[in-house]
Chains A and B, each alone.
Chain A
Amino acid sequence: MIPLSQGPVPATADAVLVGGGINGLATAYELARRGLKNIVVIEQNYIGSGSTGRCGGGIRQQWTTAENIRLAQESVALYEKMSAELGYQVFFRQGGYLMITESEADLPALREAVALQNRCSVPTEFLQPAECLKIVPELDVSRLKGATFCPRDGTAYPFAVVWGYARACHRLGVKIFIRTAVRDILSDDGRVLGVETDRGRISAPVVVNCAGPWARHLAAKVGVELPNRQERHEIMVSESLKPFLDPMVISITNGIYFSQSLRGEIVGGIGDPHEPHWQDPADFDTRSQLRFAVRFARALIQLYPRAAEVRLMRQWAGLYDVTPDHRPILGGVPGLGGYYHICGFSGHGFMLGPVTGRRMAAQITTGHPDEIINSLSLSRFENGDLQTDAFVVG
């Protein structure tokens, strides 16, 4: 069951997490597991209503920086145990990820990525186009130049993941309020004092900003300037088909990705360099466009001609919260004790949420420095410590 707290918000808490997406809920769960009491999660809409519930559910370890590979690897280890640990079926399935390219010029980078991933014990292999047919028999490989495949990558059902975390949170005493908005973060003398919600004030020494695309707006309330911008990304599902597709297929050439859900639907999207981006929530536009459906359909048929007669059932849009180097922003800020943010996932926060929640909860409760959180801190943009992963796709 999804236990939601009723009645007024409590006057005090030990920690308030803003946002009922994967990051808010995973972090609340991990804090509670470490023994923190009186944890409150505030969600302005319903659970999973932000990016999490709109996402493709893809989880991959095929990255080109050691940091991303390590985070993704830790996350996959958590996803592998998640249904058992949370006591909730999250439909995690390791059908692998097949990353394809139509460009000869990409091949050295693909081979290099495979070598790095293998050194990190991720079992990725390089495939010639014809070898892809062993994994996706009806793929049109005529334009492909090469591919990489990791059989341990996969997908999970995003809503089940947030419901599972919510349930586990409830067992540990976390209070979750939906349809409640945080209007302001209160601070004084360099310390966080709590939050002001539309249903009353909560005093708390720790406030964690997990507001996804709205994190920049919220951080500004306490003078924290995030460089994040928000982009619309569209996605769709088809009618249900009998199982025919094991992996997620993703093209680094045009950004199309598609997988098959356990309900049998093709779930997929395609990146679009022509989409606008915003920073002010008043401008956010998550309406669907026919243009997306047409672009996706053309790209899908090109790669998988048999899909031509399959029907598209439903399309929707969500926001990526994008940082200048496409890496998340984690940790706190100097001079504002008790304030933390977990945001800026740039389109891959569903696959990282379990591990960023775990590492951040450890940092918040123990204060021990965490090498990865440090390297992902906001101050990197001042220090110019930027390194972009070459496999930001979709």
Chain B
Amino acid sequence: MNDNRIILCRCEDVTLRDFRQAYAEGFTELESLKRYTGLGTGFCQGKGCLSEAVLELAVLRDADPAGIRLTNIRPPAEPLTFAQLAGLDIPEHPAQADTGEDQS
């Protein structure tokens, strides 16, 4: 099938061809492929595409996928609104957390 019609990252619309082209341009590291194509930077934060990307990278490198490092996984696990975050009961200063005192 035409690699321009296979979508690797659905959130950011990155096709298999985009990915292969970026690799051919010298973005041979998954971390760099992520920044160049946008792969894995959308709503699912790579949950739907990173493992596929590793398999494809293994083919391109003619290497064992087990030896390919994933990109760093960044929090949060699911996108949260600023309002949700602002409402969390987390002290602003680490010292407060350490003392366990109720600051409110």
Contact = CB atoms under 8 A, between A and B. Distances in A.
Interface of A: 1-4, 46-49, 53, 159, 163, 178, 238-239, 263, 274, 288, 290-291, 293-298, 300-301, 307-316
6 contacts: A4-B26, A290-B75, A297-B86, A308-B83, A309-B82, A314-B75
Given A1-B26, A53-B35, A311 B90 contact: no
B72 interface: yes
A388 to B, nearest CB: 25
A20 B24 CA distance: 20
Contacts of A263: 38
Q: Which of B24, B26, B91 has the most CB of A within 10 A?
A: B26
Interface stretch (B2-10, B50-58, B92-100): B92-100
B90 A294 contact: yes
Contacts of B88: 290, 294
B86 A313 contact: no
Contacts of B75: 288, 290, 293, 314-315
B102 to A, nearest CB: 17
Contact of B95 (A178, A274, A288): A274
B6 to A, nearest CB: 23
Interface string B50-86: 0000000000000000000000101110011111011
Contact of B31 (A49, A290, A301): A49
A43 to B, nearest CB: 11
Contact of A3 (B26, B31, B80): B26
Interface of B: 24-29, 31-32, 35-36, 38, 41-43, 45, 72, 74-76, 79-83, 85-86, 88, 90-95, 97
Nearest to A157: B35
B26 A46 contact: no
A239 B86 CA distance: 17
A301 B82 contact: yes
B63 to A, nearest CB: 14
A239 B79 contact: yes
Nearest to A295: B92
B82 A274 contact: no
A266 to B, nearest CB: 9
A310 B81 contact: yes
Contacts of A53: 35
B29 A312 contact: no
A300 B27 CA distance: 34
A313 B79 contact: yes
The A interface, classified by DSSP as helix, strand, loop or mixed, is mixed
Contacts of B86: 294, 297-298, 301, 308
Nearest to A298: B86
A294 B32 contact: no
A310 B82 contact: yes
Nearest to A49: B31
Given A3-B26, A274-B94, A294-B90, A316 B83 contact: no
Contact of A297 (B26, B45, B82, B91): B82
A301 B83 contact: yes
A2 B82 contact: no
A240 to B, nearest CB: 9
Contact of A159 (B35, B81, B83): B35
Contacts of A2: 25-27, 32
Contacts of B28: 4
Q: Which of B41, B45, B95 has the most CB of A within 10 A?
A: B41
Contact of A312 (B32, B72, B81): B81
Contacts of A297: 82-83, 85-86
Contacts of B29: 46, 178
Contact of B32 (A46, A298, A311): A46
Given A274-B94, A294-B90, 6 more contacts: A4-B28, A274-B95, A290-B90, A291-B94, A297-B82, A313-B45
A90 B26 CA distance: 17
A293 B74 CA distance: 12
Contacts of A288: 74-75
